[in-house]
Amino acid sequence: MRYESITEAIGNTPLVRIDPAVHGLRHIDLYAKLELLNPFGSVKDRAAWNMARPGLAAAAEHGSQVVELSSGNTAKALAVIAGMHGLPFKSVTNRMRIPEIKDLLLLLGADIEELPGQSECLDPTNTEDPLTLFHRELSEPGSSYLHTDQYFNPRNTEAHATGTGPEIVKDLDGRAPDWFVACVGTAGSSTGVARVLREHDPRVRVVGLVAAKSDFIPGIRTLDEVHEVGLFDPATYDTVESVGSDEAIEGMLTLARRCGILAGPTGGAAYYGTVRHLRSIDEELTYSQSVESDGETGDAGPRRSAVFIVCDRIESYLSYTKRRRPDLFRQPPRRNDPADLTDAEVAAAPAVDVPDARKWIERDRPLVVDLRSPFAYAALHIEGAINIVDQLFDELVRGGLPFSTRQPVLLVCPVGEQSARYAALLTRMGHPEVRSLSGGVIAWRDAGAPLVRD
Ligand SMILES: Cc1ncc(COP(=O)(O)O)c(C=O)c1O
The DSSP bridge partners found for residue 145 are: 65
Per-residue pLDDT, 215: 85
Pocket test for ligand 1, best of 33, 43, 252 (most atoms within 8 A of CB): 43
- Residue 113's SS3 state is strand
Measured from the Cα of 74, ligand 1's closest atom is 14
- Cα–Cα distance measured from residue 445 to residue 432, given in angstroms and rounded to the nearest whole number: 28
Pocket test for ligand 1, best of 231, 266, 317 (most atoms within 8 A of CB): 266
Q: Is the pLDDT higher at 274 or at 294?
A: 274
Stretch among 62-66, 148-152, 288-292 having the lowest mean pLDDT: 288-292
- What percentage of the chain exceeds 70 in pLDDT? 94
Q: What share of the chain is helix, strand, coil (3-state, %, to 5)?
A: 45, 15, 35
Per-residue pLDDT, 114: 82
Measured from the Cα of 185, ligand 1's closest atom is 11
- Give every strand in the sheet of 367-370, ordered side by side: 351-352, 434-437, 409-412, 367-370, 386-387
Residue whose CA lies nearest to ligand 1 atom number 6: 185
- Judged against a pLDDT cut of 60, whether residue 300 lies above it is answered with no
Give the binding-site residues of ligand 1, using a 6 Å CB cut-off: 42-44, 72-74, 183-190, 219-220, 264, 266, 311-312
Q: What is the mean pLDDT of the chain?
A: 92
Contacts of 208 (CB under 8 A, 6+ apart): 182, 183, 184, 187, 190, 226, 236, 237, 239, 240, 241
Q: What is the mean pLDDT of residues 415-428?
A: 94
Are 25 and 54 in contact, with CB atoms under 8 Å apart? no
Q: What is the mean pLDDT of residues 192-196?
A: 98
- Judged against a pLDDT cut of 70, whether residue 121 lies above it is answered with no
- Taking the centre of ligand 1 as the mean of its atom positions, its distance from the CA of residue 249, in whole angstroms, is 16
- Judged against a pLDDT cut of 60, whether residue 445 lies above it is answered with yes
- Cα–Cα distance measured from residue 13 to residue 38, given in angstroms and rounded to the nearest whole number: 7
Measured on CA atoms in the order 271, 195, 50, 75, is the torsion positive or negative? negative
For residue 299, what pLDDT band results from cuts at 50, 70 and 90? Answer: low
- Cα–Cα distance measured from residue 190 to residue 201, given in angstroms and rounded to the nearest whole number: 16
Measured from the Cα of 72, ligand 1's closest atom is 16
- Taking the centre of ligand 1 as the mean of its atom positions, its distance from the CA of residue 401, in whole angstroms, is 37
Supply the DSSP string of 314-365, one letter for each residue.
Answer: SGGGHHHHHHH-GGGGT-PPP-S-GGG--HHHHHT--EE-HHHHHHHHHHH-
Pocket test for ligand 1, best of 34, 44, 74, 315 (most atoms within 8 A of CB): 44
Residue whose CA lies nearest to ligand 1 atom number 14: 219
Per-residue pLDDT, 117: 59
Query: What's the whole-model pTM score?
Result: 0.87
For residue 43, what pLDDT band results from cuts at 50, 70 and 90? Answer: very high
- Judged against a pLDDT cut of 80, whether residue 130 lies above it is answered with no
pLDDT digits (tens, 9 = 90+) for 90-108: 999 877 889 999 999 999 9
Indicate the Cα dihedral angle 222, 224, 228, 230, nearest 10°. Answer: 50
Q: What is the mean pLDDT of residues 222-227?
A: 83
pLDDT digits (tens, 9 = 90+) for 62-82: 999 999 998 899 999 999 999
Per-residue pLDDT, 140: 77
Q: Which amino acid is it at 413?
A: C
- Taking the centre of ligand 1 as the mean of its atom positions, its distance from the CA of residue 59, in whole angstroms, is 26
Q: What is the mean pLDDT of residues 159-186?
A: 98
